[in-house]
Chains A and B, each alone.
Chain A
Amino acid sequence: MAQSTSSVITLNVNGEKRTLPVDHRTTLLDALRERLDLTGTKKGCDQGQCGACTVLIDGRRAVSCLQLAVAAEGREITTIEGLADGDQLHPVQQAFLDLDGFQCGYCTPGQICSALAVIEEHAAGWPSAATTDVRPEAGVPPLTADEIRERMSGNLCRCGAYVSIVQAVARAAGVETAQAAPALPQQGRTEEGTAA
């Protein structure tokens, strides 16, 4: 019996049902980019190491290069193209634009999708490696710059836009004031004598 190497699947992308035949080897990333012409989701490494291909699957962030398209059937997929409301940018997009949270822009769709999830994960009380008190009764940790840096670290940016990415995420999350104060000049230093 001949083995079937392709299937017709229906993907639910940005609220729209799209039916297409896919090679079983096709990743969700390639299905979006090559088959559905949704090229906003980027391919930086194709091996789960850069975050450029981040999309939301059932509301959670995932790297679409490590998902097979056939396995994404029936799930709700949101890509960068699905965030703006017509001409009205999503607040995360607007903050990235206004604060120059990118340079070449290639990591940007992944950063923005990740940022959306970061804000929700944080609001839901999920701790991160930067959370100092992870006891459930400690409640939602403040979304400090360090929390944002840690939570956004699955998204590499070779242009080095991290400083304004952190500011953009903070602004979109409504915690801009926590990021505004620069650590300059030196402060809070304890000096010990030569015997230290």
Chain B
Amino acid sequence: MTVTTVTTAVTGAVGTAHTRLEGRDKVTGAARYAGEIPYAELAHGWLVVSTIARGRIRSVESAPVLDMPGVLAVLHHGNAPRVNGDYAGMLGRPDPIVAPFQHDRVPYAGWPVALVVAETSEQAREAAEALVVRYDEEPHDVAFSAGHPGTYTPENSPHMQAETEKGDLEAELAASAAVVDAEYTTPEEHHSPLEPHAAMARWDNGRLEVVDSNQGSMWVADELAKLFSLDPASVRVRSEHVGGAFGSKGVRPHQVCAVMATTVLHRPVRVVLTRRQMFSLVGYRSPTAQRVRLGADADGRLRAFDHQAHCLTSTVHEFVEPSAGVGRVMYDAAAHHTVNRVVPLDVPTPTFMRAPGEAPGSFAVESALDELAEKCGMDPIALRTLNEPDAGPVSGLPFSSRNLLACFQEGARRFGWADRDPRPGLHREGRWLLGTGTAAASFPSGAAPSTAAVTAEADGTFTVRITAADVGTGARTALTQIAADALEVAPERVRMRIADSDFGPAMVAGGSMGTRSWAWAVMAAVSELRERLSLGGGIPPEGITARSNTAEAVGALPSRERHAFGAQFAEVAVDVTTGEVRVRRMLGIFAAGRIVNPLTARSQLVGGMIWGLSMALHEEAFRDKASGGHVGADFAGYHFAANADVPLIEADWVDDPDDDDPVGIKGIGEIGIVGVAAAIANAVWHATGVRHRHLPIRPDRVLLAGAEPGGGRDARSRR
């Protein structure tokens, strides 16, 4: 055929609503997730996790279990294949959770101690429950508090400075006309993707094949190769559909155990985590204890900003929830101090969970800003407007774009903020006290090197291959729109193939960097392809393929403060006789670059806001100090927002152009949750006159705090 990619007009797919490419498969049940693909001779693995919080395994009494019907193997520290857990992966040295069954130590409750493999899942499950494991128990410590004697300040990492400091904090606080000094806490929270982690592993002609549910198939393939000392080319990981991830779906015991078992048994093995096991095996958000001190002149101008955030980690790996990062972007002051500190305990290692750092950090900072506005007698939006920085408060770098105020203006207009009487505890409707609140949101807009391949097929269509992941974000559809526009063809002519490690290295779906990074690689490959097609000539049967690698381009991006911004608004009703808090409506306005697909973007932003609502009012995992394990590690004990908890929520966006940016797209997966809990807590204060500084704002906390028309009271911290 004649080579042409140019239609009569630019298609303009980007910016118009497209239903999801895989949507039909998802509403008919045809879409197959990782644990749903049949294999001949498939065996089923069931994990057994520790019942003690610290100690040693004395014995795993597998003999009686091996006699049970259908049981094929019991893997444990005494017989499991050895793996190398001491390597440098994408995130540095891995959490030892990726190397189960290598020693007899138990570092926390819920640590994997055995894998039972059987012909059917019923047999595996019964045998796993029958397996007796004996332990030598040691005393444990799972009690998190900011004052814990083991608290330390971590080393600076390339991802995050532990501590930043400028100016004389005490002097500026002393010179301030208004000072806020308050402590905020957030509880342990769990990702809880609705699809449990699942992986099938098998050896196929000397290649390891893994069908998985993950956020990055290349990432998982690379680390499995390192763990099992395999040639990376001999590992293939695919993850076509993913039933939610939110940071929890990286390298986890399910894949590693499936690979161990298939290696031992020479047949395909599937391992699916149970909901209960997910509470200790896939990471979670650390609880936080944060102190914020703000000092301002009488007109509201900040002189002092201090944010000291504490989180926990396990005794085997350090993960720091970087809550104190918020102020490094949002607010400047002559004296400015931010620090993340960490307390190691006998608990599982926490991990990235939707807006790590920003979600809990913004609760503290944006609540404190509201308290400062009250002290200064200022409107909370006016206070934030006054304190907009010209450059990064810590880095001094210019912002690539910062349209926070446009978000507040548009949000205030649509929400009806101008009519608000700022005095708290005045608005009553029957048994409900009503209030409104607002908060700012920000989230970094990074990019990471990725590769992509685009093929011009002989039939006039195009195939894009990239190891992207669509975890429900709509990435598959968005990348198709981007490719179509770059090719100047209709999206129907583009075939998008993702989530296969054979397509080469690419950013994972994480850090709100996925779509931005992948789009860059796709656009680069298309531009290379178009150059080659412009030379003319026919397209051979195998097509013409162009490849891209954005490593150099990403590295050449000038240093800037690059972030998405947003303004959150919430209206709540509080029944002080039952303690119930109902969110009546929420509005979020965001500045997040070019919006590729308004339909799915709105879903993602609203979904994030629902996470914020859920964080504000519902989510809280309980750890029992005596056993060291969770109480109620299920969806009854760990409630996240259900349909009836959620009102009409609206998300929209303002123009956020950045002409110097080669992609123009910012991530939107995380910004939606940021600031929501503060907006709701600020609204609860406006309704009741009581400051709630401890999440979630449970009925018992509201009841005990009562209501104070004068606005003078603080809800006490109590569990």
- Are the C-beta atoms of A105 and B22 separated by less than 8 Å? yes
Docked complex: A140-196 residues within 8 A CB-CB of B: 145-146, 148-150, 152-153, 155-166, 182-186, 189-194, 196
Flag the segment in A31-39, A119-127, A131-139 that touches B: A31-39
B519 to chain A, nearest CB (A): 19
Known: A145-B648, A153-B642. A102 touches B27 (CB 8 A): yes
- Are the C-beta atoms of A196 and B607 separated by less than 8 Å? no
Q: Say if the beta carbon of A45 comes within 8 Å of chain B.
A: yes
Q: In this complex, which of B27, B241, B275, B419 has the most chain A Cβ atoms within 10 angstroms of its Cβ?
A: B27
- Are the C-beta atoms of B29 and A41 separated by less than 8 Å? yes
- Are the C-beta atoms of B122 and A26 separated by less than 8 Å? yes
Docked complex: B403-460 residues within 8 A CB-CB of A: 414-416, 419, 421, 423, 425-429, 434, 436
- Are the C-beta atoms of A103 and B607 separated by less than 8 Å? yes
Q: In the complex, what residue of chain B is closest to A26 when comparing beta carbons?
A: B122
- Are the C-beta atoms of A150 and B644 separated by less than 8 Å? yes
Known: A153-B643, A166-B643. A184 touches B709 (CB 8 A): no
B375 to chain A, nearest CB (A): 20
Q: Say if the beta carbon of B26 comes within 8 Å of chain A.
A: yes
Q: Which of A103, A163, A189 contacts B646 (CB 8 A)?
A: A163
Complex CA distance for A38 and B640, rounded to whole angstroms: 28
Q: In the complex, what residue of chain A is closest to B429 when comparing beta carbons?
A: A190
Q: Say if the beta carbon of A43 comes within 8 Å of chain B.
A: yes
- Are the C-beta atoms of B27 and A97 separated by less than 8 Å? yes
Q: Say if the beta carbon of B315 comes within 8 Å of chain A.
A: no
- Are the C-beta atoms of B709 and A158 separated by less than 8 Å? no
Instruction: Bin chain A's interface residue count.
Output: 35 or more
- Are the C-beta atoms of A79 and B472 separated by less than 8 Å? no
> Please, which residues of chain A bring their CB within 8 A of the CB of B245?
104
- Are the C-beta atoms of A105 and B472 separated by less than 8 Å? yes
> Please, which residues of chain A bring their CB within 8 A of the CB of B243?
42, 104-106
Q: Say if the beta carbon of A84 comes within 8 Å of chain B.
A: yes
- Are the C-beta atoms of B27 and A104 separated by less than 8 Å? no
- Are the C-beta atoms of A81 and B275 separated by less than 8 Å? no
Q: Say if the beta carbon of B100 comes within 8 Å of chain A.
A: no
- Are the C-beta atoms of A81 and B28 separated by less than 8 Å? yes
> Please, which residues of chain B bring their CB within 8 A of the CB of A84?
28
Q: Which of A40, A42, A163 contacts B194 (CB 8 A)?
A: A42
- Are the C-beta atoms of A194 and B27 separated by less than 8 Å? no
A178 to chain B, nearest CB (A): 12
Between-chain CB contacts (< 8 Å), 10 pairs: A45-B634, A49-B635, A93-B27, A104-B195, A149-B643, A152-B643, A162-B642, A163-B648, A189-B429, A193-B426
Residues of B within 8 A of A (CB): 19-20, 22-24, 26-33, 35-36, 38, 120-123, 126, 191-196, 241-246, 274-275, 414-416, 419, 421, 423, 425-429, 434, 436, 471-474, 571, 584-585, 587, 599-600, 602-604, 606-611, 614, 634-636, 640-644, 646-650, 709
Q: A47-B634, A159-B244 are in contact. List 13 more A-B contacts (CB 8 A).
A: A23-B123, A25-B122, A30-B121, A33-B36, A43-B196, A44-B275, A45-B634, A49-B275, A103-B244, A103-B600, A104-B243, A145-B648, A159-B607
